[in-house]
Amino acid sequence: MAKGYRYLDPQAVARLSRMNLIARSVVEGFISGLHRSPFHGFSVEFAEHREYTPGDNIKDIDWQAYARTDRYVIKQYQEETNLKAHILLDTSGSMGYKSDEASMSKLEYGAFLAACLAYLMVRQQDSVGLVTFDEKISHFIPPRSTAVHLNVLLKTLETIRGGKVTNISRAFHDLAENIKRRGLIIVISDLFDDPKEVMRGLRHFRFKKHEVILFHIFDRWEIDFPFRKLTDFVDMETNDEIQIDPRFVREDYMNQIQNFIGAYKRECASATVEYVQTHTGVPYDLMLNSFLAKRKRLH
């Protein structure tokens, strides 16, 4: 196991490792196993030739082989069913928020979650990559399944810093066009952007036949709005500042945040995107454990 990395907590990983994880729990049902199978599937690679027999599809004839040998042969393929996943971590300024009672910021929580998922998938010999983004893509590390690659991901997570504005849909559209092989997209974000544009980006992934899991991360204070006194609120992406008496805006804020969450839940269900809401007060390993157990029951 990789050691000495800030975002890989051995105790949290140990609590998760007792389960039959990620590929079997999360992606079972849309990937037909962890290893090669003889069936055609969403990703195939050449295996061998065989003689053409009547009834075979002529589209499968290898015409280059025919030119060399004067024989009709059919290309046979086998499915590569090991999972290829991309973890998309939002590093925009709003992800740096950490309330007074929180043990970590949303960005730190997301980094722990990303590290844990990466470790578990590599442990299963599945390939995992990492993408960080704010207004544009900052890091793009293609999926691999080796211990050396895991160390690269963990080192990258330790270098990330928040602070720029958000343009989630731009990053999603760029990635949807550039990730060629169908696989699993895991999004970790507070989604503080135009929900309609974000959902267009998520639907772009679905249009490209990717499965999508969305971890919607909040700080607890963003959900509960416990403020009581006159307070200065600062936008962490633009530095705009406003002074508010919470007593006069609390009801409206609570309605808006619930509508914000509800809209994502409905739209994700409509787009067949797995939606998981959590906040930084919930231990990330327990949240993930609960999610995986639920997925396992469903399959």
| Highest mean predicted confidence (pLDDT) among 22-26, 72-76, 250-254 | 250-254
Across 248-252, average pLDDT: 94
Per-residue pLDDT for 13 more than 90?
Answer: no
| Highest mean predicted confidence (pLDDT) among 22-36, 74-88, 270-284 | 270-284
Per-residue pLDDT for 20 more than 50?
Answer: no
Cα–Cα distance between 33 and 195 in angstroms, integer? 34
Per-residue pLDDT for 65 more than 90?
Answer: no
pLDDT grade for 296, boundaries at 50, 70 and 90:
low
Residue extents of the structural domains in the chain: 10-30+83-298, 44-79
pLDDT grade for 238, boundaries at 50, 70 and 90:
confident
pLDDT grade for 2, boundaries at 50, 70 and 90:
low
- Each residue of 223-236: pLDDT tens digit? 999 999 998 888 87
CATH number belonging to the domain at 10-30+83-298, selected among 1.10.1040.10, 3.40.50.720, 2.130.10.10, 3.40.50.410: 3.40.50.410
Judge whether 275 and 214 are in contact, CB under 8 Å: yes
SS3 23: helix
Cα–Cα distance between 121 and 68 in angstroms, integer? 43
SS3 163: coil
Q: Kindly compute the dihedral angle of the four CA atoms of residues 273, 274, 278, 282, in this order, to the nearest 10 degrees.
A: -160
Cα–Cα distance between 161 and 163 in angstroms, integer? 7
Strand partners, 128: 85, 144
Across 47-74, average pLDDT: 75
Per-residue pLDDT for 188 more than 70?
Answer: yes
C-alpha dist (Å) from residue 114 to 23, 107, 249 = 15, 10, 35
Strand pairing report for 231-234 and 241-244: antiparallel
Strands (E), 64-111: 73-79, 84-90
Instruction: Please give the structure tokens belonging to residue 291.
Output: 């999610």
**Nearest alpha carbon to residue 106 among 173, 29, 65, 162:** 162
pLDDT the model gives residue 298: 63
What's at 219, amino acid-wise?
D
Buried/exposed 144-161: b ≥16 CB within 10 Å, e otherwise = bbeeebbbebbebbeebe
Mean pLDDT across the chain: 83
Polymer length of the chain: 299
- Each residue of 46-58: pLDDT tens digit? 556 777 766 566 7
pLDDT grade for 35, boundaries at 50, 70 and 90:
very low
pLDDT grade for 4, boundaries at 50, 70 and 90:
low
Judge whether 78 and 33 are in contact, CB under 8 Å: no
